[in-house]
Structure 1
Amino acid sequence: MVAKGIKPSIKIIRTGPRASFLVACVLFITGLQGCAEKPEQLVFSGLVMGTTYQVKIVPNNIVVSNNLADQIHERLQSLDATFTTYQKTSELMKLNQSPINQPLVVSEELFEVLTITKKIYQETNGAFDPTVGALVNLWGFGPDYMDQVIPPSEAIAQHLSSVGLNHLLLDKQASTATRQSDIHLDLSAVAKGYAVDEVAELLASHGIENYLVEVGGELRLNGHKANGERWRIAIEQPFPGQSGGQEDAVQEVLALENVAVATSGDYRNYFEKGGKRYSHTIDPRTGYPIDHNLASVTVIAQTAARADALATAMMVLGPEGALTLAEQNDLAVYLLVKRVDGFEPKTTTVFSQYLLGE
């Protein structure tokens, strides 16, 4: 599982002058010839879930509701209130604080995300496990500030005993979730993707067919851009220690439509002790940071929630394990593997169809 932080590995390819990113829920219209004409593209953006979001819409002949920006923002804020671990009154925190072996009725949104989470947990043999938060904190990468030191093995073993999504029981008919041991869930590695999917569903309910939705680096793209081309997304080339103060180098450009995409990486959040690098990605099966040479993984799937969770799991599995899982399940995956002289890309068979080839 990956600790919270910046997810810089995907960016939107823009045409024309580079626009600054808006940090309020406002409307930005491009391609206007006059106030009475319909815009070629609408852009809404703002802050949510401790990160930014951006929604691009190509209306074509669709009349866009005047309050669509508010609807998007309100939907995202509602989901944030459900899944945040920073408010003790959130629905997720109420589940974390619920008595052991006592079923708790949960909302449709929380039950759906928990169901997705359990599925990915099972598919990855525990590599994706949102109960790993206590170990992330122990290693100094969580929201609770701690010195970044190597914990004693006894402490790791103690915290590891409280990790395991298999200790969460879901009852679909009753819409309940039951903690069967003292586990604590942090759904940040799937909630942003789910939020992307929910905004996409909102747009679809308005009859909007051409859009790009992005929350914290997780994306869902449908239809095409204003010029009729597929949406273009860049996979960033990783640089260890990069702080974002310079223009990011592009590793690969993707041409996408009607899919979701998520990237996870370990190259911007780590510490070093005794000449060894300790990643912020903690393997929930061992309690220790990952120790392999996979720098980043990009996953394309039908939903952003699934792509988000799988990308996190594959960072835990490492290059060989990730490729094996992806090929066995016919997943579109792009890996960047650290080598002495740079990065080596590795892709699954089905991923090649998305490469722009320029």
Structure 2
Amino acid sequence: MKRSSSAPSPVIIGDPVANDFGENRVLIPPVEGGPERPPSDMVWSLDGLSMGTSWQVRFVPPPASDLQTFRAAIEAELDTVIALFSPWVDHSEISRFNNADTGFVPLSEQFWSLLTASLDLADDVNGAVDPTLGALVDLWGFGPQGPRPSLLPVPSETDIAEALKVSGWNRLRLNRDERSALQAGNMKLDFSGIAKGHAVDRISDLLTRLGATSHLVEIGGELKGRGVKPDAQPWWVEIETVENSPAPRTVCALYDLAVATSGDWRKTFSHNGQNYSHTIDGSTGYPVNNGVAQVTVFEASAMCADALATALTVLGPYDGLDLARAMNLCAHFLIRTADGLREAYTPAYAAMMDDEATASPDQ
């Protein structure tokens, strides 16, 4: 996947301002029992570019480890993700499906696993996150064909209607016995609402297999932390936010927890003075424009956090918040109003707030 000039800046890892902790909002997840001892007293860092954005990893290696072995393993895993799920790569598995003739297309076990997980999530949120919207993503200039030329008008209702005919998670037919999906003609899969979170989970699992059971993984702003550092501190991260947000600076202890953020400001284009977000509402075929500026979701799985942040953005400030409460999600909303931004959050988010914190976490 190529790098986008509008890709978000990396999330700040650690607490860069040690003297204003009392003004921060501190989020601490519920913990049962004490953490496992990290495998060593070292903390190593790696970073790079992949999937059109940046990645960074901090981890506690087991004794007698080699840094380059970890880098090679991480880069190989990310290359695998691209080979499976990147529509920007001509010979990736997703590109082969999207360009296939009509008929059932056999799928690899890894591709099948993410596709069915995406469809299950789509079912849970009634299509608010949908892996079949590739035709609409392309139409609006957010796919591998690149941005819409600035001199072109926005897509017409006819263009959108045609793209909608080949979109919709409930239109995709699966043959579970043969592990294949039906290409009904011009349907295009797109995992942009779930791929980064899935990649974070994969890198986290890889590090665990290599013995680095305490680590923090970040890809394009989606994060997952496991275990604690050698000083027994959790992995502290600062949550990115919209300019002029009414919420205070927020730091979170990512202890066996992932976080993902979706926002209408991250990746946009403008036409005739109106901004269009990269998040597409599959029920209308248009980019979302419902007043939700940003949604942040905390979940055990980065893939689920990624997908649910997108889904709640699509559902909007009322239905999205109602669903988040009903699902007992830990979610935070920033909503645009005539009086400026306002915040709203679920009881599960409020339960993570630590109003009694008085000391800054170590970086």
TM-score by structure 2 length?
0.82
Give the deviation of 1:113 after TM superposition: 0.8
Judge conservation of contact 1:167–1:181 (CA < 8 Å) in 2: no
1:15 deviates by 4.9
Distance 2:14 2:200 in 1: 19
Partner of 2:44: 42
Alignment of 1:97-136 (within 5 A): 97-102=99-104, 104-136=105-137
* Structure 2 match to 1:217: 221
**What is the CA distance between 1:14 and its match in structure 2?**
4.5
Separation in structure 2 between the aligned mates of residue 236 and residue 343 of structure 1, nearest angstrom:
15
Shift of 1:65: 4.3
Q: What residue is the counterpart of 1:64 in the other structure?
A: 65
Question: Contact 2:204–2:224 (CA<8 Å) still a contact in 1?
Answer: yes
What's the counterpart of residue 327 of structure 1? 325
Q: Equivalences for 1:221-240 in 2 at 5 Å?
A: 221-239=225-243
Structure 1 unaligned blocks of 5 or more: 18-37, 241-248
Residues 269 and 279 of structure 1 are in contact (CA less than 8 Å); yes or no, is this contact kept in structure 2? yes
Where in structure 2 are the equivalents of 1:272-283 lying within 5 Å?
Answer: 272-283=270-281
180-189 or 167-176: which moved more? 167-176
**TM superposition score normalised by structure 1:** 0.83
| Matched-pair contact (CA < 8 Å) for 2:132–2:188 | yes
- Relative to 1, partners in 2 of residues 1:355 and 1:9: Cα closer, same or farther, differing over 3 Å? farther
Tell me how far apart the structure 1 counterparts of residues 348 and 204 of structure 2 sit (CA, whole Å): 24
User: Take 1:114 and 1:250, find their aligned partners in 2: how far apart are those partners?
Assistant: 37
Hey, what's the Cα distance between the residues in 2 that align with 1:293 and 1:232?
A: 30
1:323-344 deviation per Cα after TM superposition (whole angstroms, max 9, x unaligned):
1111111111111112344422
Q: CA deviation at 1:223?
A: 0.9
CA offset at residue 277 of structure 1?
3.7
Separation of aligned partners in 1, 2:184 and 2:139: 23
Deviation at residue 354 of structure 1 after TM alignment: 3.3
1:238 Cα offset (Å): 0.7
RCO comparison, higher one (Cα < 8 Å, 6+): 2
Relative distance call for 1:301 and 1:140 in structure 2 (3 A) is same
Which one-letter code corresponds to 1:95 in the other structure? F
Equivalent-residue separation in structure 1 for 2:249 and 2:233 (angstroms): 21
Work out the CA distance in 2 between the residues paired with 1:354 and 1:107. 39
| 1:355 positional shift | 3.4
**Structure 2: gaps (5+ residues):** 19-39, 358-363
Q: 1: CA distance between counterparts of 2:187 and 2:10? A: 31
Q: Conserved in 2, the CA contact under 8 Å of 1:7 and 1:264?
A: no
Give the partner amino acid of 2:296.
T
Change in 2 beyond 3 A, CA 1:252/1:343 = farther
State whether residues 9 and 263 of structure 1, in contact with CA within 8 Å, keep that contact through their aligned partners in structure 2.
no
Q: Determine the structure 1 residue equivalent to 2:21.
A: none
Q: For residue 37 of structure 2, what is the aligned residue in structure 1? A: none
Q: Could you say if the C-alpha distance between residues 217 and 312 of structure 1 is closer, same or farther in structure 2, counting changes exceeding 3 Å?
A: same
SS in 1 for 2:258: strand
Equivalent residue letter for 1:176: S
Contact 1:331 1:348 in 2 (8 A): yes
What CA distance in whole angstroms lies between the structure 1 residues aligned with 2:140 and 2:192? 18
| Residue identity opposite 1:94 in structure 2 | R
Alpha-carbon spacing, 1:151–1:132, altered in 2? closer, same or farther (3 Å): same
Report 1:1-358 matches (<5 A): 5-8=6-9, 10-15=11-16, 40-59=42-61, 62-66=63-67, 67-102=69-104, 104-144=105-145, 145-148=147-150, 149-239=153-243, 251-357=249-355
CA RMSD of aligned residues (A): 2.6
What is the distance in 1 between the residues matched to 2:54 and 2:221?
Answer: 8
CA deviation after TM superposition for structure 1 residue 45, in Å: 1.1
Q: Which amino acid aligns with 1:323?
A: L
Q: Are the aligned partners of 1:235 and 1:250 in contact in 2 as well (CA < 8 Å)?
A: no
Conservation of the 8 A alpha-carbon contact between 1:255 and 1:354: no
How many pairs does the alignment contain? 326
* Residue type at the aligned position of 1:290: V
